[in-house]
Amino acid sequence: MIIRKVELETVCGITSRLPDSPYPEFAFAGKSNVGKSSLINALMNRKSLARTSSHPGKTQTINFYNINDAYYYVDLPGYGYAKVPVEQKVKWGKMIERYLQTSPMLRCVFLLIDIRHEPSTNDKVMYDWICEKGYTPVIIATKADKLNRSQIQKHVKMVREGLQTGENGMVIPFSSVTKQGREEIWALIEQMADLEEDRMPEPEEDEMVQLKEGRIAKLEEGRMEMDLQPM
C-alpha cells in the first residue's frame, strides 16, 4: 500500500460528537500497552504520528486518522489498566460503546492481543462484547518478534482457543519491529474498502441508506463494564 496522505483529523472525548465520516472506518481496540499505537504507526508508515508511551492508559480519546482520503484508522482507548480510576474506565467503556453502536461507516474492528500470553479476562470480555455488537473482530497478535518462528503457530492456536474464535477465526501475527503481518493487514483493509465502493448505493437508494443509519443510531443501549480485575 502506498501511503500518500496521513492526518490526525478528529479527536473525540467523552462528551464529543462523533464525526460524520465520508469514508469507511477501521477501528483498533486492545488493552493498554499491547502495542496499538505502534501498530497504527506501522500501518500509516509513520514513526510517531500515533503517540506511543511507556505509561499504559495514555490514549483517552477516540482518534480518527485520515488515510489517503480513502478511509479512517480509528484508535480506541485502551482497556485493563489498573491505575485508571473505575469511574474513568466506565466513561471510556460508554464512549467506545457509543462509537460501535452508532458509526454507520465502521467496517471492521481489529482486536489486538499480546501473542506471548493467553488472552486475559479483559480480552475475552472485549471480544465477546464486540461480537454482541454485530462485528466479527479480526485478531492481531502483536509482539510476534518476541517469539521464535517455530513458536508462532502454537501461540496463534493459544490465542484462538482462549477467545473461542473457532478454527475460522482470523488471527494475524504482527510485529512493529520486523513489520511481519503489515502487508496482510493492508490487503485486508484494501479488500474491505474495495467492497465498500462496489456496494455504494445509487442516488435513488439514498432514502434506504438513511433509514438503515437511523436504525443503527436507535439500537438499544447496552452497558459495557470496563472496571474488571487489574491486569
Domains of the chain: 6-217 (3.40.50.300)
Phi, psi of 173 (to 5 degrees): -65, 135
Q: Which residue has the cell 469507511?
A: 24
Say if CB 70 and CB 23 are below 8 A apart. Answer: yes
Q: What is the mean pLDDT of the chain?
A: 82
**Per-residue model confidence (pLDDT) at position 85:** 65
Strand stretches in 89-199, DSSP E = 106-114, 138-142, 171-173
Tens digits of residue pLDDT in 24-77: 999 999 998 899 999 999 999 887 777 654 455 555 789 999 999 999 999 998
pLDDT for 15 beyond 50: yes
**Per-residue model confidence (pLDDT) at position 87:** 73
**Which pTM was predicted?**
0.80
Residue 201's contacts (CB-CB under 8 Å, 6 or more residues apart) are 208, 209
**For the chain, how big is the Rg over CA atoms in Å?**
17
Strand stretches in 106-228, DSSP E = 106-114, 138-142, 171-173
| Other beta carbons less than 10 A from residue 27's beta carbon | 24
**Per-residue model confidence (pLDDT) at position 139:** 98
Strand stretches in 77-120, DSSP E = 106-114
Could you tell me the sign of the dihedral formed by the alpha carbons of 133, 137, 142, 148, in that order?
A: positive
Mean pLDDT of 131-146: 95
